[in-house]
Chain A
């Protein structure tokens, strides 16, 4: 019998449609933002945002809206990748296992000659389909949009902004996954995961400015992925990526341990 990642392949195929819709939606939004940048060109942003409090500038990742990199960082990456995709992967991670338990599909899957650990790993692997699609297809599309309005963006910086989003999105999916193995109902796991990621996003944004509680921001995965500096200057902290990967590994091991012990 050939059991070479059959579950990952099957589940991955089930995710293709969602991945295509997600990628199309994100690409369309990015196209709109890039076009909008070309319309707004010439406006003095420093004046526009002069009156905003620093905390708000920080929250929205507004560093330099007068360049296309800064505009993309604020309007596409901080908004779509950090918040939108973070919530999306928390959501689909939340449904990944609990949905099958709820529909009793898990009964059939666990009757396979495949260990629980491997089944869970393959189910998680299927979440990589939309994660990779939105970056691998969305990235080049954003690049082409930028070229189309006669601007330019560093290919290397854009590449790293996408690549380094993967560990962040893995953590969001991992939060969803941990909820998904812990509860029996998909809707509860999905809501808990989305709520958790959203609260962590808010915590980082709000507490970032306050010195007394600034340690709290380090709990949020959003702290460890900052796309705007990557896009503008090509700067990032490799330790941040390492922290995200360790956090993901922790969530994944926790999910495995919970799944191994639970009754289905």
Chain B
């Protein structure tokens, strides 16, 4: 690990400059499934780190290992300086961690208020009122009446209300409507700016792109690449679906940067990773009945850049962006 050489090996106490999250060769083997295969990365203080991967890639496994819910088969990680294999050390730092699980199994019969009271009594609740102004779950009502979005908002309040140093979130925006999602993005940027370190998983490329300082990509249990958001943005391309006559389709699919072109009866779809102006110029030249340009499905991005085979063991940090020195 090039960027954490200063951290002493096996030191249970976090040095002030010790990164909040250091993952070293983390492996979880369920026998039939290798859910995490030698995953290594470092999250620096005060950055938003996106942990991207398709469903089933093992993102939740990594997160559950980091919180001590699962025991690693091999490798380890240090969370705020605590080795995840050392329960006492990890428990001691948990008061400084916020956690938002993918599925929020709140006590359905309790009201949101009762749940927050309970969490607050154990972890602290200094920022509870402030957070309830941003996220607005109906705290007086029992949780069984909550929508998915309301549960998620209650989850966000409990994850942040004790003002943790590190917040770990598993698919935090699933179930939030687009407006709340934008609010969430702004919120975590502000949290980052106050010095909170944020680590969250997602299978939505656009979300990760918009808010993350750095991204790790997990696929088939292995960390494929660790790169800056800009690089990812540049490389991932657009999904284009166009309805037009055969001549137009032929001209469009012949453009530089077109991959995976799939013609259908009245048009074609493809991934376009070339110059956007060239695509728009070409589109303008033809009679186009309909066109959609959007986010490519994440699986397509992976297939395009990493091949359709499951990744084997390879160096996890083939590219680390230079500008990751978040304060």
Contacts and interface: CB of A to CB of B under 8 A. Distances in A.
Interface of A: 1-3, 6-7, 10, 14, 100, 103-108, 110-116, 260-261, 263-264
Given A6-B118, A104-B101, A113-B122, A264 B64 contact: yes
Interface string B139-178: 0000000000000000000100000000000000000000
A110 B99 CA distance: 10
Interface in B111-125: 118-119, 121-124
22 contacts: A10-B118, A14-B110, A104-B101, A104-B104, A104-B105, A107-B99, A107-B103, A111-B67, A111-B94, A112-B119, A112-B122, A112-B123, A113-B91, A113-B95, A113-B123, A114-B91, A114-B94, A115-B88, A115-B91, A116-B87, A263-B69, A264-B69
B97 interface: yes
Contacts of A106: 69, 105
The secondary structure that dominates the A interface is helix
B70 interface: yes
Contacts of A263: 64, 69-71
B176 to A, nearest CB: 19
A261 B70 CA distance: 9
B106 interface: yes
Closest 5 pairs between A and B when the two form their complex, measured CB to CB: A104-B105, A105-B105, A113-B95, A111-B99, A103-B105
A52 B68 CA distance: 59
Contact of B105 (A1, A107, A113): A107
B67 A7 contact: no
Contact of A14 (B71, B107, B119, B158): B107
B69 A1 contact: no
Contacts of B106: 105, 108
Contacts of A264: 64, 69-70
B121 A3 contact: yes
A110 B69 contact: yes
Given A6-B121, A107-B101, 4 more contacts: A106-B69, A106-B105, A107-B105, A113-B123
Nearest to A4: B121
B275 interface: no
B101 A1 contact: no
A14 B117 CA distance: 14
Contacts of A113: 91-95, 122-123
Contacts, number: 76
B109 interface: yes
B274 to A, nearest CB: 44
Contacts of B93: 113
B103 A104 contact: yes
Contacts of B118: 6-7, 10
A181 to B, nearest CB: 14
A91 to B, nearest CB: 18
A3 B101 contact: no
Nearest to A117: B87
Nearest to A99: B105
A10 B94 CA distance: 20
Tell me which of A2, A106, A112 has the highest count of chain B C-beta atoms within 10 A of its own C-beta: A112
Nearest to B121: A6
Contacts of B103: 104, 107
Contacts of B110: 14
Contact of B122 (A3, A100, A103, A107): A3
Nearest to A262: B71
Given A105-B106, A108-B106, A113-B92, A2 B69 contact: no
A127 B130 CA distance: 36
A204 B101 CA distance: 46
Contacts of A110: 67-69
Contact of A1 (B97, B107, B124): B124
A114 B122 contact: yes
A6 B109 CA distance: 18
Nearest to B108: A103
A179 to B, nearest CB: 20
Nearest to A264: B69
Contacts of A2: 121
B95 A1 contact: yes
Nearest to A101: B105
Contact of A6 (B69, B104, B122): B122
B105 A7 contact: no
A105 B158 CA distance: 13
B50 to A, nearest CB: 21
Nearest to A106: B105
Contact of B123 (A1, A7, A14, A261): A1
A177 B88 CA distance: 23
A108 B87 contact: no
Contacts of B101: 104, 107-108, 111
B141 to A, nearest CB: 17
